[in-house]
Amino acid sequence: MKPPPFLLSVTLLFWGWQSDLVLPGALMAVILESALVFRTRWDLSEDDFSKTWSFCSLVLLSAVVYSFTNNEGPSSFATMFDDLSASNQRTATVASARTAAQVIRWLPMIFFPFLAAQTFSTRESIPLTTLSLILQRRWRKAKQLGQPLPPARGFNVGYPYFCAALLSASFHPSEDTSFFWGFCALLMWVLWTQRSRRYGIAVWIVLLAAAGTAGYFGQRSMAGAQAYLTNHLSAQWLANFIRRADDPFQNRTSLGLVGRLKMSDSIVIRLQPETPKNVPAYLREASYRLYRGSTWYSGSSRDYIDSIAEEQPAPSGNWPLLSDKRTASRLNIACYLDGFDKGSPAGLLPLPSGTARLEKLAAYTVDRYAAGSVMAHGPGLVLFDAHYGPGATFDLPSGFGTVTNLRGRRLYEESGLGRFEPHGDWASSNDPPVFVYSYTNEDLAVTPLEAAALDAVVDELKLKGRDQSETLRVLQQFFDNQFKYSMWQSPPRSSNTNQTPLARFLLETRSGHCEYFATATVLLLRRVGIPARYATGYSVHEESGDGYVVRLSDAHAWTLVWDETHKVWNDFDTTPAIWVEAEKKNRSPLRWLKDAWSRFTFEFAKLRNGQGNIRGYLLWIIVPGMVLLLGQIVFRRGRKRRKDKKSDADFLAIWPGLDSDFYQLEKKIAARGVPRSDAEPLNLWLQRVEKSPGMETLREPLRELIKLHYRHRFDPHGLNAAEREKLKAETKRCLELLAQSRSGNS
């Protein structure tokens, strides 16, 4: 399909205007339009177009090298190879991005020779074999096997060049809307030439104008929404729709929700254990202490925040959470920081229980919360090693971190994790800070609204008076045998409108998802005097290669139980294990495609955020490219040598008539001193042969032979079998006469 007149020239002028390259754009536009004045055209062959394309490719490679050097790419990468710090990797990434943007701006200039070659050639289209290595390979294979050649399809490079020029113009330095309206005008020009005649011009113009207006206000609305979401809305609020527990202070559960929960199977965490199969069952993001209504809160734990100091020399990427603990396991974790806080991405880190140290974490700041959460500020994607093991955790012990009110002012206590400055009302007071131990233990608090339902279950299971291990065993059996896992919550059957969702779960439906089981377990344990907390994070169970992946659908809630003997918090999960299989039923058959795209975006995010192994990416790009170029040089030369050594039957079968036996005689006559020049017609050459001494006898048989040769060479129907044999016989006769004349002269 050929573009309308002047479209490409105007597009080049538009590109020059947007890219601040007006002079090159105007010059190329003039050259293109000169084809309307100068009618001379060249009969360019496929080989000519291939050479032009190779030239443009060489210019593209040179432009990449020049731009990369101009943007200080070599020095950036040299520095990065010496020191693989996050800052050096980001510098190298910026140099690469600038190189790509600059080269894209130059695309119209780089490939203009190819467009000009088509414009000033006699061809309306260019064979695809000029560009397609696959088609070139098919043609070569067909020639080698003596099969009919595939049909040669062609295309006009006008519209691909038009799209490339618009793409290049989009990389413009201006901040106005000129590109948008110019893009719309050029696109309307193209659509005008292809419009359907079924509709009137007025209708067509109104529809295009409406589409352009909607596009303009749509892109403005999207830009405004992005700015609003970035600058005005809390990232933690947004994270509730993406992640299950990005707020260390409160977590709204889904208790009481009627209908099936919509859970995404997007991959959010990737794990690589140091030892195969050695992965924790859970990755905890946060734990909560106070339950009111259908919401868990961190309670007074929110007041205990400890900023972790990065080990020196910075940036080392090493952050000690428990400096005195020795660990035996290491897990590499890759996750996204989906929130936004203080001008940078932020989020809770999913960590195994008992994590004591983080390494290779390219974060700006790391904060440790008393309720067992770690908040990181850093790039959008972080990759780090978590060193963990059984035993102590950095959670506050049971009963600590609780505050009480005295004279209307908030009082703080020593948390064991550091001293915290008072704020709010206390900061305005001249009184010295007072640290107290509260008489209230939030890890045993139970809301009065749930007391009746909890007491009914406690009496049913006779939990009072049992020791802790026996209580846990009974609760595990209770939930395993009498409850079922379900993502669907049916409407209440009873007429008691004051019944809470948790009470209905325990006494009536006995069906729910992990948040119901975890909440019920925490409050039942507290009701019999065992401290417990509500934990949120992810369950780890899906292998992927030699590692593991964690999806949003793996978001999970479970219970932390305080072990008074060893002074540690232990995981306790009463959700039926069948929940993993239950959620597998909702898998899409195209999930593999979504996972492939997730892997691509993950690798791209690693590169963009300075977390990727840029040296590895360069090796994957440069080494195969160098091997391919070397193979092209070596094997093409080898193929050329083999081609020269092919027999006439193999080589000339592709070109009808070039296997004529006459050429054998022509070589013999040339050896006798009468060679035929490249452009000499046969009849003139024949006259010179007849006048040569000793060749008079060849006159008549040679004329008959040339007639057959001409038919075999140029007649579309060629020669039949009998005539082909006659050509061979006449050639043999002439060769014998030539040999006799030579022997007679000697």
Burial call 477-493: b when 16+ CB within 10 Å, e when fewer = ebbeeebebbbebeeee
Q: Which of 386, 410, 444 is the last residue of a domain?
A: 444
pLDDT band, very low/low/confident/very high, at 409 (cuts 50, 70, 90): very low
Rounded to whole angstroms, the Cα distance separating 497 from 504 reads: 10
pLDDT at 151: 59
Task: Check whether residue 307 and residue 424 sit in a common domain.
Answer: yes
| Joined tokens for residue 641 | 């040598």
What digits encode the pLDDT tens for the residues 642-685? 444 444 444 444 456 667 788 888 888 888 888 877 667 777 78
Neighbouring residues of 213: CB distance < 8 A, sequence distance ≥ 6:
none
Which residue range(s) make up the domain with 56?
7-194
Domain assignment of residue 687, yes or no: yes
What digits encode the pLDDT tens for the residues 106-136? 888 888 888 888 888 877 777 766 666 666 6
Task: Check whether residue 248 and residue 392 sit in a common domain.
Answer: yes
Domain assignment of residue 511, yes or no: yes
Mean pLDDT, to the nearest integer, of 173-177? 67
Lowest mean pLDDT among 370-374, 486-490, 655-659, 705-709: 655-659
Task: Check whether residue 434 and residue 306 sit in a common domain.
Answer: yes
CB 365 within 8 A of CB 376: yes
Task: Check whether residue 433 and residue 316 sit in a common domain.
Answer: yes
Better-scored residue on pLDDT, 262 or 731: 731
pLDDT of 522 > 90? The answer is: yes
Burial call 633-647: b when 16+ CB within 10 Å, e when fewer = eeeeeeeeeeeeeee
Lowest mean pLDDT among 416-430, 553-567, 716-730: 416-430
Rounded to whole angstroms, the Cα distance separating 597 from 603 reads: 10
Q: Compute the Cα dihedral for 512, 514, 517, 519 and give only its sign.
A: negative
| Joined tokens for residue 305 | 């925040």
Task: Check whether residue 498 and residue 378 sit in a common domain.
Answer: no
Task: Check whether residue 463 and residue 402 sit in a common domain.
Answer: no
Question: Which pTM value belongs to this model?
Answer: 0.52
Neighbouring residues of 287: CB distance < 8 A, sequence distance ≥ 6:
298, 371, 372, 373, 395, 533, 534, 535, 536, 560, 569
CB 157 within 8 A of CB 118: yes
| Joined tokens for residue 404 | 């009480």
Q: How many domains does the chain have?
A: 4
Q: Please name which of 357, 355, 347, 351 lies closest in space to residue 378, comparing C-alpha atoms.
A: 347
Mean pLDDT, to the nearest integer, of 83-99? 68
Domain assignment of residue 606, yes or no: no
Task: Check whether residue 438 and residue 454 sit in a common domain.
Answer: no
Task: Check whether residue 419 and residue 479 sit in a common domain.
Answer: no
pLDDT at 562: 93
pLDDT at 248: 57
Task: Check whether residue 440 and residue 318 sit in a common domain.
Answer: yes
Rounded to whole angstroms, the Cα distance separating 382 from 602 reads: 11
At 149 the three-state DSSP class reads: coil
Domain assignment of residue 632, yes or no: no
| Average pLDDT of every residue of the chain | 75
CB 122 within 8 A of CB 44: yes
Q: Which of 570, 591, 612 is the last residue of a domain?
A: 591
Domain assignment of residue 639, yes or no: no
Task: Check whether residue 585 and residue 659 sit in a common domain.
Answer: no
What digits encode the pLDDT tens for the residues 288-306? 888 887 788 887 777 678 8
Question: What's the CATH code of the domain at 532?
Answer: 3.10.620.30
Beta 511-512 vs 484-485: how paired, if at all?
parallel
Task: Check whether residue 69 and residue 188 sit in a common domain.
Answer: yes
Q: CB 613: neighbour CB atoms within 10 A?
A: 14
pLDDT at 475: 95
Domain assignment of residue 230, yes or no: no
C-alpha distances out from residue 701 to 127, 150, 746, Å = 44, 40, 23
Task: Check whether residue 82 and residue 141 sit in a common domain.
Answer: yes
Rounded to whole angstroms, the Cα distance separating 709 from 688 reads: 18
Q: Which of 414, 444, 474 is the last residue of a domain?
A: 444
Mean pLDDT, to the nearest integer, of 147-167? 76
